[in-house]
Structure 1
Amino acid sequence: MPRLRPSDDFLAEAHTILYAERARLAPLGDDHELLLVGGCSVPGALTKGDVDLHLRTPPGAFEKTVDRLRNVYRVVLPSIWQPTLATFALDAALPTGIAVTPKGSEHDLRFTRTWQRLAADPALLAAYNQMKLAFHHDRDEYERRKSAFFDDLTAH
């Protein structure tokens, strides 16, 4: 398991990747929005240095967008795909994934609200970092704890 480091160590590179992918995805149109989410998006968050991007599509364009992206990026984790979630990966200076969701969907809100709340609340960020430190060596337990943590953030 890679060691955890402050997101600040990766923030400039994460933004470079974000801007490059925004340019690549510009042909999708202005109604699509590509955001930096995940640990690298929140100063002070602990991360292993991977970059998470979130592509928000108009609800009616989700399936067409996902089909187009199959020709641009590698499909990853197809077992977690749902009617409002698709995941891809790309080759970049840092390991980078893209989650695609329709705007307003449950998955969209999970990606946007949770990271906004963590960025805005130092106590929540400290709790997230503590959870990550305690469980990042046990992938399965970490994923369970992180999911529960994000469920709680989304519910409130």
Structure 2
Amino acid sequence: MPELRPAADFLDDAHAILRRERARLDELLAQPHELLLVGGSSVPGALTKGDVDLHLRVAAPDFRPVVAALTDVYEVVLPEIWQDTLATFAVEAPLPTGVAVTPAGSEHDLRFTRTWERLAADPALVEAYNDIKLRHRDDPGEYERHKSAFFDSLL
């Protein structure tokens, strides 16, 4: 795993990427949408490798048309994890950046919104998150397993 650093080191750049992508999506999408900064880089006390995670929320009926539109501007990533309520893309940006698209109110939407909101509001949860990252930084499979269980506990 790359070196972990405090998210505060990346927060200004992450917010600049968020603003740029909001402007891009406002021009591209006719459908109502909301683009959020989530992930480790969104929580100042969290440890991160410096990647930026964006979450695009759309109304359920707009999910498929929005995903189709995004395939023209973003690179599809991890198509094997795509589901009826999740699509993922890479965003060309100064930091490694991805965007996950979900219908508002779906299971994936709640996972992205609630977990990061709860984590950002509770320093003890940030400490627990950082501990998982530190303990399993050399074993990505174990890290993902423990992180997933931790996030499940936040729902």
Aligned-residue offset at 1:30: 6.7
* Structure 1 position 31, deviation (Å): 1.8
Q: Which runs of at least 4 in structure 1 moved beyond 3 Å after TM superposition?
A: none
Measure the CA separation in 1 of the matches of 2:33 and 2:92.
Answer: 21
Alignment coverage as a number of residue pairs:
154
Question: Which residue of structure 2 aligns with residue 9 of structure 1?
Answer: 9
What pairs with 1:100-119 in structure 2 (closer than 5 Å)?
A: 100-119=101-120
Letter of the 2:60 partner, please give it.
P
- Give the corresponding residue for 1:22: 22
Q: Are positions 1:78 and 2:79 aligned together?
A: yes
Q: Conserved in 1, the CA contact under 8 Å of 2:31 and 2:62?
A: no
Cα 1:68–1:30 change in 2 (3 A) is closer
User: 2:73 and 2:107 mapped to 1: Cα distance?
Assistant: 25
Give the corresponding residue for 1:44. Answer: 45
Distance 1:139 1:133 in 2: 11
Q: Which runs of 5+ in 1 are unaligned?
A: none
Q: In the alignment, is the contact (CA less than 8 A) between 2:59 and 2:104 conserved in 1? A: yes
Q: CA deviation at 1:23?
A: 0.4
- Following TM superposition, by how much is the alpha carbon of 1:91 offset from its aligned partner in structure 2, in angstroms? 1.2
> TM-score, normalised on structure 1?
0.97
Residues 1:88 and 2:100 aligned together? no
* Structure 2: stretches of 5+ with no match in the other structure: none
Find the counterpart in structure 2 of residue 135 from structure 1: 136
Q: Which residue of structure 2 lines up, in the alignment, with residue 152 of structure 1? A: 153
1:29 and 1:120 mapped to 2: Cα distance? 33
Q: Deviations over 1:62-118 (max 9, x none)?
A: 000000000010000000000000000011100000000000000000000000000
% identical equivalent positions: 69
TM score, norm. by length of structure 2: 0.97
